[in-house]
Structure 1
């Protein structure tokens, strides 16, 4: 992928993938890197600021996770991640039980009108040691897991070995990556990318090559262009809109979440729980259940999320709408199994869109040379964008610098498999 002279790199997308990649590239190319973000509110306004922040060795795809987890550890050690973005190891377990703490509303209610979709976050557990279908014993909860009802618990089992699951504050991690990149000379530009410019390669190798990115100035509405020898498409669920000629197979899944602040004096021990809650029968005697994920955070905050839905993707991340009913359902479900969470204050209700590869796995990482030389795709990370961002960033940096990815064999993620 070499070009004459030093590369000029434009990254489209100020989420976790774009910002982390900007930092990794900045250590080699400094001010020759520009990050373009559509939101008027800055970086991490989508999934990267509203995710749970889970980092796991048992995530997927394995070839990327094996690089990324190590990079997370190294970043936290080098830049004070524990204080800067909440890096810490956490316990992770599967909890099954019954809704039994009553509230003002039916805990079985499900908000929203869109079809529910599983986020399949535990898919990675089908590989290796602990599987999501592992035999579970009826057992008491761990001694320090006191913020979920023991009397409502049917079973609890660890999902991963100690040291195999960690977490970060996703917004703080993303913002820190941009800050570190900026200190190395990366330019941050606010504007909505409208097209990736492609022209004939004037070098030794014939073909098509990226020449820049056109974007719309959010304040004047004027069309502007940033020249580039390399364009990294990391716009998450919005990535296909910039490659209409490639039919990029990225589907958008809307996901809702809430954050809770427990009452003063309540201590939330460091656990991430994947739950299966048996709900009371509906009026027509139909049994229902719910599977919210619950994350304890270092500042005693609790994050909880529910299933996704197929709501249409809006024009920009600033236009994402929240379905209050979906947030209500998450709150009712987690409140039905924990008095501490029922008595907690809701701090935030939020929604975001996750980019999912609609055929053949993913994410998609590599040079799309069949479209244009210098065009690098980095999207489709589903619910594991926070976890796999550093590995993705390292791979892309190697690709730009050396013309090949050296840290792992990512052939199964190459764009040629998908477009």
Structure 2
């Protein structure tokens, strides 16, 4: 049994309050995703936290990391957003890995991130029959060109597109489509109506083809001949990755080992307020199969402080909160070679004339994670377990990345999945919202969009300071104040 699997099995659920919070300062965190879990962990690490005086309850409706925290890609980058908390959080990821052997516990590692544009519109399934030879030829040519240009710097070290799966092509920075010269080149290529045989001839002979851009030598699982342009987004000094599902479970387990953290399975019903308008507790409907009470019974947790770390479900409890859900599909693929070199790749694939598809590919230790652009076709369901997965969207991801990589086209899909990213619908802010609302004792930590995994440790540490010190000390989060964007007293 691997360490990460052991951690998942060690987490215990409750249906009712344990009673450990009686007579103590009780903090309730709603949501056992990566944000809620990191808040609990950093609370237990805060200098002022005392298990004899404080108790934490994490309330989760279905399962730990059941939403985006278990289905995200896990990319970490110093150029993520918002910059108020990114440097802090990136450093905390490294510190956690150093302390707990993150390399083995949750697959932490530094990696290289690139953005590339490729033309895959003429690649068919028949290409894979001769792929071994064509790949060998491509590697040979790439090696020759890289040797010839070994002293030349990469195109750019500045991220060309700081984006993630939640965005659409037209929304991305710097993505205004191809310039006229690019279209003319591809229109000429399209007029040849190249079939699989012609494509293979082009691969091996380089007929009528300009030299392919020289990719990094170890990025050998991409069909070089299809790449039209690429740029560096970051190296091992600025990008890294984690396996979010493993990370979330491990960090929660570490928090619970203190004996000061309970995990209850239950769906939040409502926030309780006292006569002076301060948060005083929360009611919930137990969802554990082990619950022996009446069906739809309501239990209550009294608390001095409540944190909603519910991602897109936050607005289900606080209707005025401008956070919505954006559905994102993803798959994991087992490469034919077992593993591939550690790269995160943002792609812009030309699949037809003036038609593009932009999946993101994250190589993990034993699989490749691929995600697509977000959609708002289906409203947010009641729980993460009810998220609809459209098989066709997952198959579409595999179809196009297979054109780009022989290692993936000859591999197989391990998982098809979907989740909702918590998006802040405020034109002047990218989110998240972190801090106390205009209702005393009620806090929000949500709206992290596609950078929730990246910013979870920073959010956790900042929230621990807000809850126990009354102010954030590790970063200036004044622009992320929930009170600037909505009224928490609007509950109907």
Q: Structure 1 CA distance, aligned partners of 2:466 and 2:212?
A: 49
- 1:29 Cα deviation after fit: 4.6
- 1:138 Cα deviation after fit: 6.8
* Partners of 1:101 and 1:338 within 8 A in 2: no
- Deviation track 1:375-394 (CA, whole Å, cap 9, x = no partner) reads 11000001100000000000
2:347 to 272, 275, 278: 275
* Partners of 2:167 and 2:373 within 8 A in 1: no
* Partners of 1:210 and 1:229 within 8 A in 2: yes
SS at the partner of 1:92?
A: strand
* Partners of 2:78 and 2:90 within 8 A in 1: yes
* Partners of 1:215 and 1:223 within 8 A in 2: yes
Q: Structure 1 CA distance, aligned partners of 2:50 and 2:393?
A: 44
Matches within 5 A, 1:189-208: 189-200=264-275, 207-208=276-277
Map of 2:39 onto structure 1: 21
Q: Structure 2 CA distance, aligned partners of 1:306 and 1:319?
A: 20
Q: Structure 1 CA distance, aligned partners of 2:226 and 2:448?
A: 35
Task: Return closer, same or farther for 1:122/1:171 CA change in 2, 3 Å cut-off.
Answer: farther
Map of 2:227 onto structure 1: 153
SS at the partner of 2:324?
A: strand
SS at the partner of 1:82?
A: helix
- 1:156 Cα deviation after fit: 1.8
- 1:92 Cα deviation after fit: 0.1
* Partners of 1:256 and 1:322 within 8 A in 2: yes
1:33 to 41, 44, 56: 56
- 1:122 Cα deviation after fit: 11
Q: Structure 2 CA distance, aligned partners of 1:190 and 1:326?
A: 31
Map of 1:309 onto structure 2: 375
Larger Rg: 2
* Partners of 1:138 and 1:156 within 8 A in 2: no
- 1:132 Cα deviation after fit: 8.3
SS at the partner of 1:151?
A: helix
SS at the partner of 1:340?
A: helix
- 1:262 Cα deviation after fit: 1.3
* Partners of 2:277 and 2:440 within 8 A in 1: yes
Task: Return closer, same or farther for 1:122/1:225 CA change in 2, 3 Å cut-off.
Answer: farther
- 1:118 Cα deviation after fit: 5.9
Q: Structure 2 CA distance, aligned partners of 1:374 and 1:240?
A: 18
Q: Structure 2 CA distance, aligned partners of 1:236 and 1:29?
A: 28
Map of 2:11 onto structure 1: none
Map of 1:380 onto structure 2: 447
Matches within 5 A, 1:204-215: 207-215=276-284
2:243 to 151, 169, 192: 169
SS at the partner of 1:406?
A: coil
Task: Return closer, same or farther for 1:312/1:332 CA change in 2, 3 Å cut-off.
Answer: same
> Is residue 333 of structure 2 the alignment partner of residue 256 of structure 1?
no
Q: Structure 2 CA distance, aligned partners of 1:37 and 1:122?
A: 34
* Partners of 1:121 and 1:383 within 8 A in 2: no
Map of 1:90 onto structure 2: 111
> Is residue 258 of structure 2 the alignment partner of residue 184 of structure 1?
yes
TM-score by length of 2: 0.73
TM-score by length of 1: 0.86
Map of 2:66 onto structure 1: 45
2:300 to 204, 225, 250: 225
- Structure with a larger share of its residues in helix: 2
Q: Structure 2 CA distance, aligned partners of 1:29 and 1:103?
A: 61
* Partners of 1:252 and 1:355 within 8 A in 2: yes
* Partners of 1:140 and 1:155 within 8 A in 2: no
Q: Structure 2 CA distance, aligned partners of 1:72 and 1:212?
A: 32
SS at the partner of 2:443?
A: strand
Structure 2 unaligned segments of length 5 or more: list them: 1-22, 127-163, 177-210, 487-492
Q: How many residues align?
A: 379
Q: Structure 1 CA distance, aligned partners of 2:165 and 2:365?
A: 27
Q: Structure 2 CA distance, aligned partners of 1:344 and 1:318?
A: 28
Map of 1:79 onto structure 2: 100
* Partners of 1:9 and 1:231 within 8 A in 2: yes
1:61 to 77, 82, 86: 82
SS at the partner of 2:64?
A: coil
Map of 2:149 onto structure 1: none
Task: Return closer, same or farther for 1:19/1:118 CA change in 2, 3 Å cut-off.
Answer: closer
1:357 to 406, 419, 424: 424
